[in-house]
Amino acid sequence: MSDGFDLGEPPQPKGAAYRVLARKYRPQTFSELIGQDAMVQTLGNAIKRDRLAHAFLLTGVRGVGKTSTARLIAKALNCIGPDGQGGPTIDPCGVCEPCRAIAEGRHIDVIEMDAASHTGIDDIREIIEASRYAAVSARYKIYIIDEVHMLSKAAFNGLLKTLEEPPGHVKFLFATTEVNKVPVTVLSRCQRFDLKRIPADLLADHFARVVKAEGVEAEGDALALIARAAEGSARDGLSILDQAIAHADIEGGAVNAAAVRDMLGLSDRGAIRALFAALLAGEAAPALAALRQQYDLGVDPAAVMKTLLETVHGVTLAKLGADMGAGQAAEEREALADWAAGLSFPALHRLWQLLLKGHEEVSRAALPIETAEMALLRVIHAASLPDPGELARQIATGATPTAPALPDRAATPAESALPSSVAALADLLEGASRHVLAAGVRNRLRPVRYDPPELVMSSAVPMPADFARDLATDLRTITGRAWKVTSDPAQGEPTLVEQAAAVKDAERAAVLASPIVAAAMDHFPDAELIGWTNSKRA
């Protein structure tokens, strides 16, 4: 036993510091750079043909890979290959000394500068002086200036001459999120690449590979939520994913959609669909209750209004038959399709304007939840107001304006009676003074399937472009039910006019075939059958 003090266990060496996912999975090759295929192809062709510009300008929103791309270009231009004999390539080896030094940020000939903290002419003067000297060990001396738009006017002016006629061994790589602040004189001296926002489906696939590499379980819906929240930024998405993994259960729990939604303060999509349905139905109490439920769960009222706007946009895309994007649940697609069948474009535009105004008011209001409630009540009130186009038609025909602007309000028992046949449908339109639509139904509509409130008509007979939309809108007004009117390439059944003509032709043939008429026609060959009486109908 020693005579000295017991100092306990000696200090243990600290482990390597944790690297956030956004840094750990920074692209090291062009193949790892997602969503920028056009730029990679252009750079590859330029390198192969030895048509390299002396200055590149990389623009785009945050987190799409501007600085990473600049470093990849530096590696591509200075790579010497594993054997030390290689030249510029779009596929840098990553193992030679220049590649490793550039990746680790220690290459003496690749100088990175943050324009946010080096904005003056003195900083640029140092670059101009240093650019005159050849590279120490690399093929090219490369200057990477991040957020270049923050340089002062004097700094930009000082750079112009060198930028226009740089030494052959120098390349400039500029990155900026605000290209509109870069002088035109600089833009004209650079080869510009606009890096696009990364699509949500590509981000979700990328995050799936990351969580697999990290040994973390994650639901596909959770990754889709993170991808949408990233708004096209890989860095933002990886930061959110980092947080979601930390938010998950410590005992190996999976990253699930509910936890991500709570973490981000997003509205539950099912609850939003219920709220949207209540708005369309003009049901104030359920709509306000649904809003308060989201608020009590910690969802920002502005986020609810934003999600309602996204829903209106989704319905509009569904009505146009456009792709509604990846990561959308089947039940949401079905709901959007149903609403699209019953909502007209004027109603959708009106909904958008009302909700957009509400979102703006909520975002700057001193009482956000109260303002959101008033905004939703304004939308509900609009359900009782006549649509401008319908109002004009009713005034022209002298009818009483009663058409609601929004569909799916609760139907009365009288409204629930739907026409049982296409003929009854035409009569209903005629009785409601929809003479043009009634004529179209009788003369040109060939039904493929009639199952009210759904009508599928043949596209074999050309119809006016707005016929299906106007028919659905007016039938909703008349019956109080949302109608779905679509077309199909099948021939369908004969039109009502064709059916009536066929009946008349059959009756004529039967009359001519009767013994008395046939004998008379034989006796008088030039006689014509002008008319007859149908005893069954009489």
Q: How confident is the model at residue 499 (pLDDT cuts 50, 70, 90)?
A: confident
SS (H, E, C) 305-325: HHHHHHHHHHHHHHHHCCCCC
Half-sphere exposure of 213 (CA within 13 A, CB side): 9
Q: How confident is the model at residue 406 (pLDDT cuts 50, 70, 90)?
A: very low
What tens digit of pLDDT does each residue of 346-375 get? Answer: 888 889 999 999 999 999 999 999 999 999
Checking if the pLDDT of 328 tops 80, the result is no
Checking if the pLDDT of 391 tops 70, the result is no
Q: How confident is the model at residue 333 (pLDDT cuts 50, 70, 90)?
A: confident
How far apart (Å, rounded) are the C-alpha atoms in residues 238 and 206? 9
Give pLDDT, residue 346: 83
Give pLDDT, residue 387: 57
Q: Which of 96-105, 269-278, 513-522 has the lowest mean pLDDT?
A: 513-522
Mean pLDDT on 422-445: 88
Mean pLDDT on 62-85: 89
Selected residue with higher pLDDT from 11 and 465 = 465
Query: How would you classify the pairing of strands 191-194 and 55-59?
Result: parallel
Position of tokens 């489906």? 201
The dihedrals phi and psi of 485, each to the nearest 5 degrees, come to -115, 115
What tens digit of pLDDT does each residue of 226-243 get? Answer: 888 888 888 888 988 988
Chain centre to alpha carbon of residue 158: 43
Q: How far is CA 231 from each of CA 200, 203, 498, 517, rounded to the nearest angstrom?
A: 8, 10, 55, 81
Q: What is the Cα gyration radius of the chain? A: 35
What tens digit of pLDDT does each residue of 145-192 get? Answer: 999 999 999 999 999 988 888 888 999 999 998 999 999 999 998 999
- Strongest mean pLDDT among 62-76, 246-260, 402-416: 62-76
Q: Which of 20-29, 73-82, 502-511 has the lowest mean pLDDT?
A: 502-511
Q: How confident is the model at residue 325 (pLDDT cuts 50, 70, 90)?
A: low
Q: How confident is the model at residue 532 (pLDDT cuts 50, 70, 90)?
A: low
Q: Under a CB-based contact definition with an 8 Å cutoff, are residues 363 and 302 in contact? A: yes
Could you give the angle at the alpha carbon of 353 between the alpha carbons of 348 and 356, nearest 5°? 120
Q: How confident is the model at residue 4 (pLDDT cuts 50, 70, 90)?
A: very low
What tens digit of pLDDT does each residue of 270-300 get? Answer: 788 889 988 988 888 889 998 998 888 788 8
How far apart (Å, rounded) are the C-alpha atoms in residues 273 and 352? 16
How far apart (Å, rounded) are the C-alpha atoms in residues 483 and 480? 9
How far apart (Å, rounded) are the C-alpha atoms in residues 452 and 325? 31
Give pLDDT, residue 356: 92
Half-sphere exposure of 102 (CA within 13 A, CB side): 35
Q: Which of 54-63, 182-191, 321-330 has the lowest mean pLDDT?
A: 321-330
Checking if the pLDDT of 1 tops 70, the result is no
Mean pLDDT on 60-65: 87
Give pLDDT, residue 414: 38
* Whether residue 515 has a cis bond before it, omega within 30° of 0: no
Q: Which of 96-100, 246-250, 441-445, 453-457 has the lowest mean pLDDT?
A: 246-250
Give pLDDT, residue 399: 53
Checking if the pLDDT of 225 tops 90, the result is no
Q: How far is CA 495 from each of CA 6, 420, 502, 537, rounded to the nearest angstrom?
A: 103, 16, 10, 22
Give pLDDT, residue 332: 77
Model pTM above 0.75: no
The CA-based dihedral angle spanning residues 141, 147, 148, 154, taken in that order and rounded to the nearest 10 degrees? -120
Checking if the pLDDT of 393 tops 70, the result is no
| Exposure class string for 496-528: b at 16+ Cβ within 10 A, else e | beeeeeeeeeeeeeebeeeeeeeeeeeeeeeee
Checking if the pLDDT of 388 tops 70, the result is no
Give pLDDT, residue 415: 39
Among residues 263, 346, 264, 343, the alpha carbon closest in space to that of 311 is found at 343
CB-based contacts of 377, cutoff 8 Å, min separation 6? 284, 288
Mean pLDDT on 417-443: 88
How far apart (Å, rounded) are the C-alpha atoms in residues 105 and 71? 9
